[in-house]
Structure 1
Amino acid sequence: MDEIHRLSELLIANQRYEEQKHQRFHDDLAQWNASIDALYEQVEIWLKPLVDAGQTAFEYEPHLAQSKGYPDENSPFRTRRMGFYVGAHTVSFVPDAMGAKGQVSISVSGLSLHGQEKYSLHLDAGSRDWMLKKTVGVKDAEPLAFTADYFGKLLQGVVPQRQV
């Protein structure tokens, strides 16, 4: 009977561990979604003068991000993608993967000779700042802080430069 009692204790401990793991997963998921919402809110604040001038508007649509453990429609990573236009060019923010190693891709149409520049954003674990890294056309690009000035300069690349 001692071994049956021991088995019962092991099952109870295992159940507690699984419940804690499940709770940690959902806490991390909520934190990741909050960080995406905060990112989108920050971009909206940066571009508010353009929205107020009628030069752009934000659009949101549901998105199912994935990870190695959840590669299909059963993914619990339900979020949204954000898009807007700069002139005739589309800018999209798409959460690719969620969690500690998650990222948000930014694509900007018309920014390069290829017609599409791609960047990724990663949260810097130490400072909780978003770091931007070019992902197409550059080998091992250094991540840079994602700031209003840097983003504004990046978006200026899609606007034709004309002398006034």
Structure 2
Amino acid sequence: MDDVQQLGEMLRHYAESEAHKKQVFESQSAVWAMRIGELFDQIEQWLAPVRTPNLLEVSREFYVAFGASVPVETSVFKSEKLSILIAGKPVEFVPEVMGVGGLITLAVVGLTAARYGSVSLVCLPPSTEWQWRKTNGLKDPDTFAFDANFLAQQLQSLIPRERG
């Protein structure tokens, strides 16, 4: 095989590899978007019995996820974010760009009192289980299973208590 034929073979292999990577990315992106939609549907179902105008409201809106390596202008991660307004305090579930292996991360804004802490929801396909991760400083994050009762406990912390 001469160098020109070898170059042709290399280009063909490269094209096949790129096509495969694109196909994997597109299928993972579809799962990413579907899982986020399912999670938001679930949260809305959990909160439906206690939704009350001006006390507990839930809404969804179009959102383009972006990250440090993917600016919003070029991001292909079109999704939505979920907002909860409870006792006048906003909580948002905001998708972040899909991570390695289809990792799904949602930043949870409005639920951490720690100065340097953050809260996120994480799901790593093929698992469909969501985990609540609370990070504070350099130590390992605290991880909890995410379900209706856990969400309710977190939201309860935002309701002002009677003093006296």
- Number of the residue aligned with 2:36: 36
How far does the alpha carbon of each residue in 1:14-53 deviate from its partner, in whole angstroms, 9 at most, with x for none? Answer: 21111111111111111111111111011011001023x5
| TM-score w.r.t. length of structure 1 | 0.81
Question: What amino acid is aligned across from residue 150 of structure 1 in structure 2?
Answer: F
8 Å Cα contact 1:103-1:120 kept in structure 2: yes
Is the alpha carbon distance of 1:26 and 1:156 closer, same or farther for their aligned partners in structure 2, counting shifts above 3 Å? same
Sequence identity (%) = 28
How many Å apart are 1:125 and its aligned residue?
4.5
RMSD: 2.8
Query: What is the number of residues matched between the two proteins?
Result: 160
1:108 aligns with 2:110: yes
Report matched runs for 1:73-152 at 5 Å.
73-99=73-99, 100-108=102-110, 112=113, 118-125=118-125, 127-136=127-136, 139-152=139-152
Q: Distance in 2 between matches of 1:137 and 1:161?
A: 28
Q: Distance in 1 between matches of 2:88 and 2:4?
A: 70
Q: Distance in 2 between matches of 1:81 and 1:28?
A: 19
Is the alpha carbon distance of 1:8 and 1:30 closer, same or farther for their aligned partners in structure 2, counting shifts above 3 Å? same
How many Å apart are 1:62 and its aligned residue?
2.2
| TM-score w.r.t. length of structure 2 | 0.81
Moved over 6 A (4+): none
SS for the counterpart of 1:80 is: strand
Which segments of 5 or more consecutive residues in structure 2 lack a partner in the other structure? none
Is the alpha carbon distance of 1:82 and 1:16 closer, same or farther for their aligned partners in structure 2, counting shifts above 3 Å? same
SS for the counterpart of 2:60 is: strand
SS for the counterpart of 1:151 is: helix
Higher relative contact order (CA 8 A, sep 6+): 2
How far does the alpha carbon of each residue in 1:39-98 deviate from its partner, in whole angstroms, 9 at most, with x for none? Answer: 1011011001023x5443322222221245423411111211110211211111101232
Question: What amino acid is aligned across from residue 134 of structure 1 in structure 2?
Answer: K
How many Å apart are 1:143 and its aligned residue?
0.6
